[in-house]
Structure 1
């Protein structure tokens, strides 16, 4: 899941919670299905896609780009393996916070616990918007909703991935963009 909030990011930077840095080359994986991953990742530069494989077909569910936090939330919360893949779309620089470091920070102050609640609320709202998008049968309405909500997506992400995310063919997306 990807989270956007400058207030959250500045608080994490302020408290120097980032323990490690990593550069992932284009098409390299940060996480693969069947693995446990309890880290939180901050994207300094680049972009990632988060997807699952369903009957050997990729189904993109999220993107993360500069200044986003990305996490395999199911694995993060349960300490169990996840079905998610997280892959670099282009060379991506990330900073890493471990679950232990993050929760030590969260449990220090009530203000920090409010931060965690804010992160979770943001994720729930994003998920609700995503579900609405998938329930809309009109390709043009789906495209318009995502364009309005995430214009940066169309600047950062290749169209073949956006088409997959919108559950349409690249040709359909191309026609919608022209109209």
Structure 2
């Protein structure tokens, strides 16, 4: 298992999202469930009911749709980010997504029951979950705006500004579908521009 203590994990969560009280930390440590996910492992399928959220400690996961046989990446989660089938988790409806791990990953799993119980018992945890959901929604909204208003090259450069290492960790076909472009277009954008020799 990865050499990171529960205290380090909670410190990172508090730093990124919202402060956590000592009482909340104590209850959280009791409920932390660690697991290892293999590269290529799918933990949620389209049409499945999902009541788990995953905090990525090390590794990377993605949510994607299948549309007319085409794989369309909708969301990536890296270290210290959460991944869940939001629709299924919060509305108890079948998931429209698949969730797959694209690297060998270590995660903390949270059940919906645990999250709801901790939200009732600790207002600071409720604020933390609210911040996680807000960040996720803002990220998805920013992606939609980028697809609507920016060129393919602008979208790619914006993604690199946020996640410089993404091309080393995520297959280019998934990056292309996330950006709403073809793999051929992505390859052209990434190709070094030739110098104009006079």
TM-score surpassing 0.5?
Answer: yes
Number of the residue aligned with 1:30:
43
Number of the residue aligned with 2:196:
none
Q: Which whole-Å deviations, capped at 9, do the CAs of 1:6-52 have from their partners, x for residues lacking one? A: 43488487621644332222212011111111111011222111101
Q: Which of residues 132, 154, 157 in structure 2 aligns to 1:141?
A: 154
Q: Which is higher, the Rg of structure 1 or of structure 2?
A: 2
Q: CA deviation at 1:67?
A: 1.7
Unaligned ranges ≥5, structure 2: 1-11, 194-198
Number of the residue aligned with 2:115:
102
- Rounded to whole Å, the distance in 2 between the matches of 1:20 and 1:55 is 36
Answer whether contact 1:19 1:98 (CA < 8 A) is retained.
no
Residue 135 of structure 2 is aligned to residue 126 of structure 1: no
Answer whether contact 2:44 2:100 (CA < 8 A) is retained.
yes
Cα RMSD (Å): 2.4
Number of the residue aligned with 1:168:
181
Answer whether contact 1:24 1:88 (CA < 8 A) is retained.
yes
- Rounded to whole Å, the distance in 1 between the matches of 2:156 and 2:119 is 37
Q: Which of residues 49, 57, 61 in structure 2 aligns to 1:44?
A: 57
If each structure's strand is expressed as a fraction of its own residues, which one has the higher value? 1
Counterparts in 2 of 1:141-160, with a 5 A limit?
A: 141-160=154-173
Answer whether contact 1:139 1:168 (CA < 8 A) is retained.
yes
Aligned length, in residue pairs = 176
Q: Which of residues 95, 98, 113 in structure 2 aligns to 1:85?
A: 98
- Name whichever of 108-117 and 127-136 sits farther off: 108-117
Answer whether contact 1:36 1:81 (CA < 8 A) is retained.
yes
Aligned to 1:129, what secondary structure does the other structure show? helix
Q: CA deviation at 1:56?
A: 1.2
